Amino acid sequence: MLLLLAAVLLMSFTCLLIGSSHMSIRECIEALSGRGSASQIRILRSIRLPRVFAALIAGAGLSVSGLMMQTALDNPMASPSTLGVSNAAVFGANLSIIAFSGGYLSTGHNVENYTAAASPYATSLLAFAFAALSILLILGLCRIKSFSPSVVVLSGIAMGSVWTAATTVLQFYATDVGLSAAVVWSFGDLGRASYKTDAIMLLVTVPGYLVFACYRWHCNALLSGDATARSMGISVDRLRFTMLLLSSLITAVIVSFLGIIGFLGIICPHLVKKLMGEDHRITLPLSALSGSLLLLLADTLSRSMGNGSALPVGAVTSLLGAPFFVGILLSKKGE
C-alpha cells in the first residue's frame, strides 16, 4: 500500500514536470513555488496542477466505482458505466454540442462562432443531467422488479443502447463541425480539468469512497452470496442500491467533465483482486491508488506521444492497460 502511495506521489510529481512547453525540472520547481516567469507559473499552476489533481481524483473514482459495481453485481465484467452512465453522458454532451451550442447552427456552421458560443459547463451539465436520469431510470426500474444482478445488468445494457441509438440519430443530423466537436468531446481528456471541476469531482468522490469504506465488511459478506449475507443481517437490496447509486454518480460527474476514460474501471480492480485477493478492506484503497497511478501514467504518455497535442487519455489507458492485464491473467500469480 505504502509502495503504491509512493508511486502515485512520484508519478504526480513526474506528471508536473512533463509538458509541451519543455520547461526544465528546475524551472518547473521554481514555477511551482511561484518564482518563475508569469507564463511558467501559469502553465504549472493553472494547467498542469489541475490536470494532475484530475488524474488523481478521476483515476481513483473510476477504479473504485468499477470495484463496487463488480461486487454489487457479482459480475467481473461490470464497469463504472454498467448502468449506461457513459452512454447517457455522451448523449447529453452531443445534445448540448449539436443542438444547443449557442448560435452555431444558425451562423453558417462557422467554427469560430461555435467555439465562442459553446460553454463547456453547459455541455458537462447536460451530460451529467442525462447520466443522472439514466441512473434514476434504471434504479427505479430495478426497484419495481428486483435488484438482482441480472436485472440490473440487462437494464443497463438496454438503457445504454437507447442512449447510443439516440446519439446516432443526433449525429446523423449534425454538421461536420458539430459532429467532430461531439466526437472530440467523447475522447477522455484531462486537459479540460480546472480547479473548479476538480473540486466538484472531489466533493462527489471522497464522500462516495468513505461510504464504501464504511460498507467494506458488508461488501465482503456479499461475496458469500445473497442468502448468506442476508442471514448475517445485511439488507442486501439497500446495500446494492447504495453501491450502484454512488458508483454511477461518481462516474457520471467524472465522465461529464472529462469525457470517456474507458477500461480503467475494469482493469484496476481486477489487477488488485488478482494480486491481493478480494477483501474490500484492501481492494478499496488499492483500487483507488492504482486507478490514480494508471491515469497519471496514461496522461503522461498521452502528452509525450502526441507530438505537442495530447492523445485521448482513454485510448492510452486501454492501450497501456490491456496487455498488462492479459499478462497478469495468464501469469501464475493471477491463478
Q: Which residues of this chain interact with another protein, rule CB under 8 A?
A: 213-218, 220-221, 223-228, 230-235, 277-279
Q: CA 96, CA 123: separation in Å to the nearest integer?
A: 5
Residue closer to another protein, measured from CB, 30 or 278:
278
Q: CA 196, CA 40: separation in Å to the nearest integer?
A: 21
Provide, rounded to whole angstroms, the least separation between the CB of residue 6 and another protein. 26
Residue closer to another protein, measured from CB, 165 or 214:
214
Provide, rounded to whole angstroms, the least separation between the CB of residue 277 and another protein. 5
Provide, rounded to whole angstroms, the least separation between the CB of residue 202 and another protein. 22
Residue closer to another protein, measured from CB, 35 or 145:
145
DSSP 244-307: HHHHHHHHHHHHHHH-B--SHHHHHHHHHHHHH-S-HHHHHHHHHHHHHHHHHHHHHHHHHHTT
Residue closer to another protein, measured from CB, 20 or 220:
220
Provide, rounded to whole angstroms, the least separation between the CB of residue 235 and another protein. 5
Residue closer to another protein, measured from CB, 223 or 322:
223
Residue closer to another protein, measured from CB, 91 or 212:
212
Residue closer to another protein, measured from CB, 30 or 74:
74
Provide, rounded to whole angstroms, the least separation between the CB of residue 223 and another protein. 3
Q: CA 223, CA 219: separation in Å to the nearest integer?
A: 7
Find the helix or strand (DSSP H, E) in which 4 lies: helix 2-17
User: CA-CA-CA-CA torsion for 188, 192, 194, 198, nearest 10 degrees?
Assistant: -20
User: Which residue type does 284 have?
Assistant: L
User: Which residue type does 105 have?
Assistant: L
DSSP 152-219: HHHHHHHHHHHHHHHHHHHHHTS-HHHHHHHHHHHB--GGG--HHHHHHHHHHHHHHHHHHHHTHHHH
CA distances from 8 to 12, 15, 296, 322 (A): 6, 10, 8, 20
C-alpha cell recorded at residue 280: 474490500
Provide, rounded to whole angstroms, the least separation between the CB of residue 273 and another protein. 8
- Shortest CA distance to 257 belongs to which of 309, 306, 198? 198
Provide, rounded to whole angstroms, the least separation between the CB of residue 234 and another protein. 7
Provide, rounded to whole angstroms, the least separation between the CB of residue 75 and another protein. 14
**CB-facing half-sphere around the CA of 151: CA atoms within 13 A:** 15
Residue closer to another protein, measured from CB, 30 or 226:
226
